Amino acid sequence: MTAPGIADTGTVAPTAAAIPLITADALAVGYSAAPVLSEVTFSLRAGERIGVLGPNGGGKTTLFRALLGELSPLAGSLDTAARCGTVPQTERSRLDFPVSALDVALMGAIAGRPWWKRPGRAERAAAHAALERVGLDALAERAFGELSGGQRQRVLVARALVQDARIVLLDEPFTGLDNVSVQRLEGLLDELAGEGRGVLIATHDVDQARAWDQVLCINRRQVAFGPPRETLTLEVLAATYGGSIVTLPQDGGERLAILPPHHHDH
Ligand SMILES: Nc1ncnc2c1ncn2[C@@H]1O[C@H](COP(=O)(O)OP(=O)(O)O)[C@@H](O)[C@H]1O
Ligand SMILES: [Mg+2]
């Protein structure tokens, strides 16, 4: 069916691609009446990767919980125009469940259906295809908890693909990964954006975020949002990370570095 006067070209209308997948406007969120994160104004468009930067306790996970609908805005507005899949911040304690990589990917297909309905052939095929897509179908029967950190992250991306999530949220997915796993996951995120998904990645690595489309800097409130090159000024980094930002000598010049979180303990 086409609207009168509009030719049916069989392609997505140009305006559809321009509609943001996420729009936050003066958003405040928290766990009680007092917000832990406020003044958040940004949008995520199809094909964009946004790096979410902020110190520990800055509100990155809280923002993701709001995007997933687990927390309601205390002020401002938040609109999500597509389904969100999530790669949560992993904790070792959650890895003891006797579930396989395939089971985890399948969770993307069975969420929201009655518990007594076993996953069918189509769902299993979709889960295998998603594992294949992230390069892990050979390990489909392997226990999730026995996989490497990088492999677990990719299984969780596969779960988001099975959910057909147009928005993919990744909460510090690179923490603890070796360089090869980091590059592999970065490549996968580039592919997701390349096929028109919107990707939001919380990270502690400022240099990594420079390669993405936008950065959202938060420290209990939004500090800045925009393209990395213009946005990641010394002032913005200082406001985002407070005292944990230092300059290190490198190649005869200087390089900014963020002290690792445990430095806060002293
Ligand atoms: N379930 C919760 N209930 C109350 N406060 C919380 C809860 N989870 C996080 N917070 C608080 O919200 C603030 C932001 O935390 P969080 O979003 O986890 O930061 P980040 O992910 O950037 O480290 C912190 O002060 C934290 O203590
Ligand atoms: Mg967090």
| For the chain, percent of residues with pLDDT exceeding 90 | 69
Is the pLDDT higher at 91 or at 38?
Answer: 38
Q: 225 with 41: CB under 8 angstroms?
A: yes
Q: Is 164 left (phi over 0), alpha (psi -120 to 50) or beta?
A: left
pLDDT for residue 250 is more than 90: no
Range(s) within the chain of domains with CATH label 3.40.50.300: 20-82+166-266
| Cβ of residue 35 lying under 6 Å from some atom of ligand 1 | no
| Cβ of residue 56 lying under 6 Å from some atom of ligand 1 | yes
Q: 197 with 167: CB under 8 angstroms?
A: yes
In this prediction, residue 103 has a pLDDT band, given cuts at 50, 70 and 90, of very high
| Cβ of residue 197 lying under 6 Å from some atom of ligand 1 | no
Q: Which atom of ligand 1 lies at the shortest distance from residue 172's CA?
A: 21
The pLDDT tens digits of the residues spanning 168-185 come to 999 999 998 999 999 999
Average pLDDT over residues 229-251: 83
Q: Which atom of ligand 1 lies at the shortest distance from residue 65's CA?
A: 17
Q: Which CATH architecture has domain 20-82+166-266?
A: 3-Layer(aba) Sandwich (3.40)
Mutate to test the pocket of ligand 1, among 38, 52, 62 (most ligand atoms within 8 A of CB): 62
Q: Which atom of ligand 1 lies at the shortest distance from residue 54's CA?
A: 22
- The confidence score (pLDDT) of residue 46 equals 96
Average pLDDT over residues 23-39: 97
pTM of the model: 0.86
